[in-house]
């Protein structure tokens, strides 16, 4: 039995996409990256840069609101970089995160 496709579970609309969590968006990006690698999707994104920095900033804000940020900025950047790599290992992690 194959897993249902996202579109079979619920139609994606601008409203439903806005309701997705950062982790859910990263799961979608990771799955799309895997499809590109497997050759089932021609391109990762249209011409131009696709950035996940808004997701990284959202994760940072949620960590800050929960009091979970690291004491040093460089340590927090490394933590966010690890989060991106764990959540979407086949998607390009922004070079400014973790440096």
pLDDT in tens, 53-72: 777 888 898 899 999 999 99
pLDDT bin (cut points 50, 70, 90) of residue 1 is: very low
**pTM more than 0.75:** no
Structural contact between residues 44 and 33, judged by C-beta atoms closer than 8 angstroms: yes
Give pLDDT, residue 88: 75
User: Helical H runs in 1-99?
Assistant: 6-9, 14-18, 22-38, 53-65, 73-87
Asked if pLDDT for residue 5 goes beyond 70, the answer is no
Cα–Cα distance between 26 and 34 in angstroms, integer?
12
Give pLDDT, residue 23: 83
Give pLDDT, residue 99: 47
| 46 alpha carbon, distance to own chain's centre | 17
Give pLDDT, residue 94: 64
What mean pLDDT is reported for the chain? 75
Structural contact between residues 84 and 52, judged by C-beta atoms closer than 8 angstroms: yes
């Amino acid at each position: 039995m194959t897993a249902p496709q996202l579109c079979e579970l619920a139609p994606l609309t601008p409203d439903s996409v806005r309701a997705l969590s950062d982790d859910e968006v990263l799961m979608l990006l990771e799955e799309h990256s895997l499809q590109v690698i497997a050759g089932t999707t021609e391109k990762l994104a249209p011409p131009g840069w696709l950035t996940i920095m808004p997701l990284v900033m959202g994760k940072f804000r949620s960590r800050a609101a929960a009091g979970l940020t690291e004491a040093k900025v460089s340590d927090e950047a490394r933590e966010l970089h690890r989060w991106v790599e764990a959540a979407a290992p086949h998607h390009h992690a922004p070079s400014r995160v973790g440096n």
